[in-house]
């Protein structure tokens, strides 16, 4: 087996050893229908792009945890090829596909340009259609997707959750660990819930300040809208300060990211069509997104709706106008004055921003443009924090291990503030930091920009005066 030290080498598999110059040719050893049907199976051409070199291994979170070949990207591609060769979809095969976080660090690391992102999403759609999950797992997934993609349903949870937090029951459960013993899944969900802020609705129209530079639509999101309302409010303020009129239609729904990343193709397509309709009616130049996973999926609408004659071309045009908040701000250039923020921060690359969208330089450029701010890099930056959409709910044990690993690396920077670009990352790292008994402030990158533009107050980001520099 190839290792980061040894370089390219053979692949150990359940049925023998595969050399780097071989293609797979397997004789089915189990009875049953083929793993994949004819509707968008993983592409054999894309599978063949993998030369099994092993450069993906050190960046893969599950391989880092377990060292198992079939829990690496090239191992999963091997299993995809087994399915394409006619092997049935076994529970073991599904387990390896499910274990993938979809972080796409392997896409960045791969010297052959293997499009693992497209392969795993196609495979997961097949799994959801063709694999019968255990009743308990099916019920958990059904409950998640009955709530998370619907902002109004999430909003209905705010009251009970806020009461739960204010009564101190939340602290008691976490301190005693009783919920961990009763249900690790419920314990994970409870630990991830952020302290709820006051609702801060974004107006449907926020006028540009100074000379108008364009009109942008703003995705409000689902979890972002209800659990991190301050991020959306800061996004609208920063865009307006930089000369953009911001339109945030109240009627907009989910973008479909959670659905597409978990193989729920029909559901994701419904959400995508509705969002395209909403922003087409708004008549905007660009659609700005402040959540990495959402932006990643919206930029792939052309592929998601490629078989829909009524939406294929509209999806292509829409996807071409989607911009991450850091992307559009760097492209336009700064107009608003930045006031000093004399402190150090650690910047965490959200996987679906850095790996799926290839956006790494822009957030750093924006942060380094703030006077007095020192940016510190986090060790093992390429390893996912374990959030990965709903992965930390479906797979709490490995997600917790990855979260604790990320938290330790964050703490090693000794920065008083962690900055990232995704709500899931904020919740995951906050939960791990609490388990460690250490706390630092956490913020979205747009909140840091907002603080600088509004007057430069580190305390507004939760950074104590003792952690600022004169």
| pLDDT tens by residue, 386-411 | 999 899 999 999 999 999 999 999 99
CB 25 within 8 A of CB 86: no
Write the CB contacts of 91 (distance below 8 Å, at least 6 apart in sequence): 131
Is the pLDDT at 177 greater than 80? The verdict is no
Residue 251's CB is within 10 A of a number of other CB atoms, namely 10
Q: Where in the sequence of the chain do the CATH 3.40.50.11810 domains occur?
A: 337-467
Task: Choose among 193, 200, 206, 195: nearest CA to 231.
Answer: 200
* pLDDT value of residue 7: 38
Mean pLDDT of 379-385: 94
**CB of 128 within 8 A of CB of 33?**
no
Q: What is the predicted pLDDT for the residue at 195?
A: 74
Q: Delimit the CATH 1.10.1060.10 region(s) of the chain.
A: 32-130
273 within 8 A of 235, measured Cβ to Cβ: no
Report d(CA 396, CA 391) in Å as an integer.
7
Task: Work out the mean pLDDT of the chain and round it to a whole number.
Answer: 89
- CATH number of this structure's domain 32-130: 1.10.1060.10
Q: Residue 4: is its pLDDT beyond 80? A: no
Q: Which fold has domain 337-467?
A: Rossmann fold (3.40.50)
Kindly state the percentage of the chain with pLDDT values over 70: 89
Q: Tokens 């997707």 appear where?
A: 145
Strand 16-18 versus strand 11-13 pairing type: antiparallel
> CA 375, 377, 378: angle at the middle one, nearest 5?
135
Percent of the chain predicted with pLDDT > 90: 75
pTM above 0.85, yes or no: yes
Q: Please write the tens of the pLDDT for every residue from 103-145.
A: 999 999 999 999 999 999 999 999 999 999 999 999 999 999 9
Tell me yes or no: is domain 205-330 CATH 1.20.20: no
> In this predicted model, what pLDDT tens digit does every residue of 362-381 receive, in sequence order?
999 999 999 999 999 999 99
Q: Which residue is listed with tokens 């013993």?
A: 181
Q: Give the model's confidence band at 288: pLDDT under 50 very low, under 70 low, under 90 confident, else very high.
A: very high
């Amino acid at each position: 087996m190839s290792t980061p030290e040894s370089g390219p080498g053979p692949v150990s598999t359940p049925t023998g050893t595969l050399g780097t110059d071989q293609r797979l040719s397997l004789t089915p050893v189990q009875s049953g229908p083929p793993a994949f049907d004819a509707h968008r199976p993983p592409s054999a051409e894309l599978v063949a792009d993998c030369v099994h070199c092993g450069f993906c291994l050190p960046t893969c979170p599950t391989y880092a945890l377990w060292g198992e070949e079939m829990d690496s990207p090239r191992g999963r591609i091997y299993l995809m090829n087994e399915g394409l060769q006619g092997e049935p979809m076994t529970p073991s095969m599904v387990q390896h596909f499910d274990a993938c976080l979809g972080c796409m660090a392997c896409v960045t690391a791969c010297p052959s340009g293997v499009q693992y992102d497209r392969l795993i999403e196609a495979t997961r759609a097949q799994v959801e259609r063709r694999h019968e999950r255990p009743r308990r797992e099916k019920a958990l997934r059904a409950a998640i997707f009955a709530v998370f993609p619907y902002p109004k349903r999430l909003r209905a949870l705010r009251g009970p959750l806020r009461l739960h937090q204010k009564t101190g029951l939340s602290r008691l459960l976490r301190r005693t660990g009783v919920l961990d013993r009763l249900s690790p899944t419920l314990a994970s969900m409870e630990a991830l819930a952020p302290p709820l802020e006051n609702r801060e609705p974004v107006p449907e129209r926020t006028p540009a300040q100074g000379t108008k530079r364009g009109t942008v639509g703003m995705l409000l999101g689902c979890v972002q809208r209800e659990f991190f309302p301050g991020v959306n409010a800061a996004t609208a303020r920063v865009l307006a300060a930089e000369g953009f009129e911001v339109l945030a239609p109240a009627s907009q729904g989910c973008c479909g990211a959670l659905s597409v990343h978990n193989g729920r193709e029909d559901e994701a397509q419904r959400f995508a069509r509705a969002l395209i309709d909403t922003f087409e009616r708004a008549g905007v130049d660009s659609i700005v997104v402040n959540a990495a996973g959402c932006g990643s999926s919206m930029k792939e609408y052309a592929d998601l709706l490629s078989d829909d004659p009524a939406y294929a071309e509209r999806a292509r045009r829409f996807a071409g106008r989607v911009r991450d908040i850091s992307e559009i701000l760097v492209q336009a250039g700064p107009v608003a004055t930045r006031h000093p923020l004399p402190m150090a921060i650690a910047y965490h690359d959200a996987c679906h921003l850095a790996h799926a969208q290839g956006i790494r330089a822009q957030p750093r450029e924006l942060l380094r443009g703030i006077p007095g701010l020192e940016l510190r890099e986090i060790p093992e930056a390429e390893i996912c924090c374990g959030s990965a959409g709903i992965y930390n709910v479906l797979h709490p044990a490995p997600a917790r291990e990855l979260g604790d690993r990320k938290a330790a690396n964050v703490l090693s920077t000794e920065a008083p503030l962690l900055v990232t670009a995704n709500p899931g990352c904020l919740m995951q790292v906050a939960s791990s930091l609490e388990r460690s008994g250490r706390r630092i402030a956490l913020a979205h990158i747009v909140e840091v920009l907002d603080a600088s533009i509004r007057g430069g107050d580190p305390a507004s980001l939760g950074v104590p005066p003792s952690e600022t520099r004169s």
